[in-house]
Structure 1
Amino acid sequence: MLTKRIIPCLDIKDGRTVKGVNFVGLRDAGDPIELAKKYTEAGADELVFLDITASHEKRKTLVDLVEKVAQAISIPFTVGGGISTVEDVARLLQAGADKITINSAAVRQPNLIQELANCFGSQCVVVAIDAKLENGHWRVYTGGGRQKSDWELLAWAKEVEQLGAGEILFTSMDHDGTKKGFANELLALLSKELTIPIIASGGAGNLGHFKDAFEVGLADAALAASIFHFEEISIPELKNYLNQHKIAVRL
């Protein structure tokens, strides 16, 4: 049985880790390098680093910071923010990233997914999808949740898989930072309709929310930020809890 993965997320703005609610109201959560070290030692399975204003500010991801984080950790490391070319990805992989995640650029130029998968392998390409419920439809957003796209969630997720993405990182904008649980019905739908792994993001507030993401949402991995950054839940505590509930995790 494949183990379920626990993934802390470092949302980076101006070189610092930040966290908000529903993609707004950001507050400082600490030094990314120190947090990355802490999570590696605590037993996180992977780490995600998102330069959350890079696309909006039309600039590239902070490569020097990626390099420093990569040197501080020994677990798989996914980087996103401002990536729009094969050269961007090559630079980040050279800096120490294991995988990259694209969102806005993928919606703008879907063929980029195929191009990256052909160049670096599908296992390296994670497509992040941010979606929000509007008039009964889950609409895909880009630009850090600022711009509404023409895509509906499931249609875009299927397109992404077909183009060669290795994983999908799905964030419900309605659940993000609320600590009321993940969007489990949607996660289950994506998991049943697609064959690639789905990472749940947005809404973790307690131990039971992770259990539900795996049991109800059928997610392959669960990502969280503030509850780890502000030490509301520790990774060893979470993994022990999941293990006690017969959910396979790497202890």
Structure 2
Amino acid sequence: MDWRDVIGELEAGTERVAGTLSKLTGEELRAPSALPGWSRGHVAAHIARNADSLWNLLESARTGVEIPQYPSLERRNADIEAGAGRSGEELAADVRDTAARFAELAGALPEDAWNAPVKAMGGWPHPAWYTVFRRWNEVEAHHVDLAAGYGPADWPEPYVRWSSAATLADMAALPQEQRGGLAGYRITATDYGEAADLGWTAGGPEASGSGRALLGWLSGRTDGSGVHVRPEAPLPAPPPWPHRPAGF
């Protein structure tokens, strides 16, 4: 999928997040999210601060001056904590405003800047255009993490198609020791045809399901409903998601 098409998808996804937040009461925002140790307000603040952090990477590509995604992990966490206690309307406005700022810079970025190398907080490099896809994962996955009625079944099909394929490709590129309980498996999206061999050999274990079922499971957003294992066995725990992208 072309990154240019993702910008419109991001705008729609951001508006869905903001719509969810604006309906939540203060008590509901202080309640636990699906992420351990974070309230719904923490998740919302993170979605906004992530837009700011990825704006930094686009600005780095535009200027040629290296700008870190976050000044530090401590600053990232402090900013999330500082913003988590606001009202639903305030959090929704923050999510909208920071997303609009990101989209504005993306729309104005010179064509040759999109291939400029930037660096994720984890230290791995990627071209600037991949920043748009990283943001897509953040918006859709963390909307689910709000635990406020939006789930993997609500993910738009273009997102599921891209992210499930990217997840399988990225997992296949992981070193064996980072594949966790899925080492030795073949994983197949039955509707899209993509597959990942994680050290699989003939006769080895296989997991299969729709791209949506696989993405929900591999991203940690479902318990694996709709995913089938052969030979029959409990679903293994997937490694932490998202993964370093393959090929960069």
Query: What TM-score comes out, normalization by structure 2 length?
Result: 0.32
Pick the structure with more strand per residue.
Answer: 1
Pick the structure with more helix per residue.
Answer: 2
